[in-house]
Structure 1
Amino acid sequence: MALDRHRAVLVLTNTHDVTADLVLRILSERRVPVVRVDPGADLLGSASLTARYGKGDQRGTLRTPSRELDLTRVRSVWVRRPSPYEAPPGLTEHAAKFAGTQAFWGAGGILASLPDAYYVNHPWRIRNAEYKPAQLTVAGRSGFQVPDTVITTDPDEARRFCAGRPHGSIYKPLWDSRYRAPDGTARTVWVREVDPAEITEAVSVCPHMFQGTVPKSFDVRVTAVGDQLFGVRITSPDLDWRERQDLMTCRPIEVPGSVARSVAAYLAEFRLVYGAFDFAVTAAGDWYFLECNPNGQWAWQGCDTTSAIARAIADRLEEGIGP
């Protein structure tokens, strides 16, 4: 397929996303036309979206204060970090809920079904790949080593599982949910060690995920952009290195061939172009799959790794076609 240099790259992200700027700068240097919009916020005021259907095709226009984009002329879509679809202020509770839902299914549906556009990643595939149970299932099928895991609403099952792990056990939330303490303070729920004796009946309120602790020597993040893999070894004093990133160090590490093959199989099953894989590595050199964020952050890594990832993403968006 010949590369049409006049077709635009559509970037869906919020205005505060500095990570996107790294890729947009590269595309600008290459003179690739780019339209950046945050549909969840911009369509409430400064932007408009129209789609028309008939005779088996789709046509439409996205208008922003600076650009007018023919939806049939989009070469690729980068779904980065757009704001949630919400209603404009001033509506009643039920009207706001209706408007927000219509925006999600309407505008979200239009932007997820652009004709001939190449997605990094497609929003529906991002959502499918965010379920932890699905991740663990596909990871096992892809050949990764996976920690012993239980997801349960039964406190007795949780206690038995945690008591039977030779290296102890940890709790990990199934989703990065917003949480506030009784005093209203925003809290982040980090991965933490669990004593079976502290597990209470509160487990029955919702599903909880417990895993056998991996006796790791260090962590690894592998950022995959298609068949390009960028690995960094992470050293941190914390069980969950994300908790205090100012105390962690990272340096490039080679990804073993067996892990690379499993990464390829995993991406293929979820039909992903991009994935941020986290591993715990033991002293014996065993790589245990922890999770894969299909839209994970990557600009926190060393300058050389960050620059290489930005170029790899820019290449995909510029080409606008799959491998």
Structure 2
Amino acid sequence: METAGSSMTILILSEPADLHAHAVMEALRARRAKVVLLDLAEFSTRVALSMEFQNGELRYQLRRRSGGSLDLNDVSAVWWRRPQQFSMPSQMSRVHRQFALSEANTAFFGLGNLFPPGGSTSPSVTRWRLTNRIN
């Protein structure tokens, strides 16, 4: 467990109304861990993902359109609790939306490879659940 003074962060992928996730967040914060809740339904309408080279290193960052960001290189663990479907702008055509959702899946689920074994719950199981969800 990372302690105060550490730059490592625990990322929880769930929905804002997830009471269990909030209880876990409180417990982790009581242990002085940095914890961030991310609702994947906010991507791409309210959250953006950037990938860029900085000083010869690949950096990944999430940015909220309302302000604030999270450097994913500082994330030490991910809990794929109850990730929601990505949301795309309503004015996109069906074909463009399908393409954008495919790209979002590839980008986000590929990020699971950044974390060491045991540092993340299984994104492949989560991907299967999201892909096979009936809307």
Q: Kindly provide the amino acid, as one letter, of the partner of residue 35 in structure 2.
A: V
CA distance in 2, matches of 1:13, 1:119: 17
What amino acid is aligned across from residue 113 of structure 1 in structure 2?
N
Which residue in the other structure is 1:74 paired with? Answer: 75
Show CA shifts across 1:5-58 (max 9, x none).
32111111112211111101101212211111112x212222221123599953
Q: Which residue of 1 aligns with 2:44?
A: 44
Aligned to 1:87: 88
The number of equivalent residue pairs is 130
For 2:28, the equivalent position in structure 1 comes to 27
1:186-265 alignment runs, 5 A limit: none
C-alpha RMSD over aligned residues: 3.2
Q: In the superposition, relative to structure 1, how do residues 21 and 3 fare at CA in structure 2: closer, same or farther (>3 Å)?
A: closer
Give the conservation status (yes or no) of the 8 Å contact 2:42–2:86. Answer: no
CA distance in 2, matches of 1:177, 1:74: 28
Counterpart amino acid of 2:34? P
- 1:61, 1:129 → 2: CA distance? 24
Given that residues 9 and 74 in structure 2 are in contact (C-alpha distance below 8 angstroms), is that contact kept between their aligned partners in structure 1?
A: yes
| Maintained 8 Å contact 1:86/1:99 | no
Which structure has the greater CA radius of gyration?
1
Partner of 2:7: 6
Whole-Å Cα distance in 2 between the matches of residues 93 and 16 of structure 1?
Answer: 29
Secondary structure, in 3 states, of the residue corresponding to 1:26? helix
Within a 5 Å distance, the mapping from 1:302-321 to structure 2 comes to none
**CA positional deviation for 1:3:** 4.6
Q: 1:88 and 1:128 mapped to 2: Cα distance? A: 21
- Give CA-to-partner distance per residue, 1:261-300, whole Å, 9 cap, x none: xxxxxxxxxxxxxxxxxxxxxxxxxxxxxxxxxxxxxxxx
Query: Aligned AA for 2:38?
Result: V
| Equivalent pair of 1:78/1:121 in contact (CA under 8 Å) | yes
> Taking structure 1 as reference, are residues 77 and 38 closer, same or farther at Cα in structure 2, changes over 3 Å only?
same
Shift of 1:71: 1.7
1:47-66 equivalent positions in 2, closer than 5 A: 47-52=47-52, 58-64=58-64, 65=66
| Aligned match of 1:17 | 18
Which whole-Å deviations, capped at 9, do the CAs of 1:100-147 have from their partners, x for residues lacking one? 1111112332x31225585341212x25998xxxxxxxxxxxxxxxxx
Q: What fraction of aligned residue pairs are identical, expressed as a percent?
A: 26
> Which SS does the other structure have where 1:112 is aligned?
helix
Structure 1 CA distance for aligned equivalents of residues 109 and 120 of structure 2: 15
Could you tell me which amino acid in structure 1 is paired with residue 14 of structure 2?
Answer: T
1:105-120 matches, cutoff 5 A? 105-109=106-110, 111-116=111-116, 118-120=118-120
Q: Given residue 62 of structure 1, which amino acid in structure 2 is its aligned partner?
A: L
Counterpart residue type for residue 19 of structure 1 = H
Amino acid at match of 1:82: P
Contact 2:50–2:61 (CA<8 Å) still a contact in 1? Answer: yes
Amino acid at match of 2:119: Y
TM-score (norm 1): 0.35
Unaligned runs of 5+ in 2: none
CA distance in 2, matches of 1:128, 1:49: 18
